[in-house]
Amino acid sequence: DGGITQSPKYLFRKEGQNVTLSCEQNLNHDAMYWYRQDPGQGLRLIYYSQIVNDFQKGDIAEGYSVSREKKESFPLTVTSAQKNPTAFYLCASSTGRKKAQYFGPGTRLLVL
Amino acid sequence: QQQVKQSPQSLIVQKGGIPIINCAYENTAFDYFPWYQQFPGKGPALLIAIRPDVSEKKEGRFTISFNKSAKQFSLHIMDSQPGDSATYFCAAINTDKLIFGTGTRLQVFP
Query: Hey, are the CB atoms on A41 and B43 less than 8 Å from each other?
Result: no
Q: Tell me how far apart the alpha carbons of residues A32 and A103 are, in angstroms, rounded to a whole number.
A: 10
pLDDT in tens, A17-52: 999 999 999 999 999 999 999 987 789 999 999 999
Asked if the C-beta of B32 comes within 8 angstroms of chain A's C-beta atoms, the answer is yes
Residue B44 and residue A43: Cβ atoms within 8 Å? Answer: yes
> Which stretch of DSSP H or E encloses residue B71?
none
The pLDDT value given to residue A2:
64
Chain B residues closer than 8 Å to A41 by CB: 102-103
Mean pLDDT score across all residues of chain B: 94
Q: B34-66: per-residue pLDDT in tens?
A: 999 999 999 999 999 999 899 999 999 999 999
Going by DSSP bridges, is the β-strand pair A107-111/A10-13 parallel, antiparallel, or unpaired?
Answer: parallel
Mean pLDDT of B14-31: 95
Name the A residues in 20-59 with CB < 8 Å from any B CB.
31, 33, 40-43, 45, 48, 50, 56, 58
**pLDDT of res. A1:** 55
Asked if A104 has any chain B CB less than 8 Å from its own CB, the reply is yes
Compute φ and ψ for B55, nearest 5 degrees.
-90, -20
Asked if the C-beta of B31 comes within 8 angstroms of chain A's C-beta atoms, the answer is: yes
Angstrom distance (rounded) from CA B37 to CA B105 = 10
CA distance readout (Å), A20 to A7, A64, A71, A74: 9, 10, 18, 10
